[in-house]
A = this chain, B = another copy of it.
Amino acid sequence: MARTTGSDGEKTEAAVREAAVSLIARLGYEAMSMRQLAAEVGVQAAALYRYFPTKEDLLFTLMREHMEGLLKAWGAARPASADPVTRLAAYVENHIAFHIERRHATHVSNMELRSLSHERLTQILKMRTAYEKELRTILRDGAEAGVFQIDDTGLTAMALIQMMTGVIVWFRPGERLSIAEVTASYLSMTMRLVGATISHGTARPSGRARDAVAL
């Protein structure tokens, strides 16, 4: 009835995070109890409080690290090129790859915002806005350069992000489509949606998706 043999704080904390993401994604934050989470980790509920002072702290930590990871991933994937088409393609590819890889965490970050305190909600939304702004900038640059035909930059950015993030709702790894096929299709749909004028000669304006993507 105390410390167990082989117990290790770092490993336990990592196990708690992993189990929490999976449980919250499946049951929802409010519906998941600390006792359930503890049972999943193989520990008593009280032990969780060694790592996270409250349930909401746990949620916030998961969300903050998810958003930081997204911004960091885009920072690494962002191309040096100034060409809007290249930048948009990189954004789409990074977004889809990241979100498919972290389906559960994305679910949590998108669905459980209302369980955060006002202050913490603001923090998360700030990161999200920064990420979305990157896309708006690309779209605006492309529109000004005349390579995109866009009605409303803000509206188009939101539509694209909703469309891309929606992948996690229906995509299941190992089913009909591979990640590469899904990414190729979404890239093609994106380019068509923004009315991209193909500048690399790799695709025709009204060509099939495969053409527009196979670069």
Contacts and interface: CB of A to CB of B under 8 A. Distances in A.
A35 interface: no
Contacts of A77: none
B163 A159 contact: yes
A155 B185 contact: yes
A166 B162 contact: yes
B115 A28 contact: yes
A27 interface: yes
A182 interface: yes
Interface residue range, chain A: 35 or more
Given A114-B27, A185-B152, A210-B151, A195 B195 contact: no
A207 B197 CA distance: 12
A197 B192 CA distance: 13
Contact of A158 (B150, B152, B170): B170
A22 interface: no
A14 interface: no
A10 interface: no
Contacts of A210: 151
A106 interface: no
Contacts of A2: none
A205 interface: yes
A160 B160 CA distance: 10
A39 interface: no
Contacts of A137: none
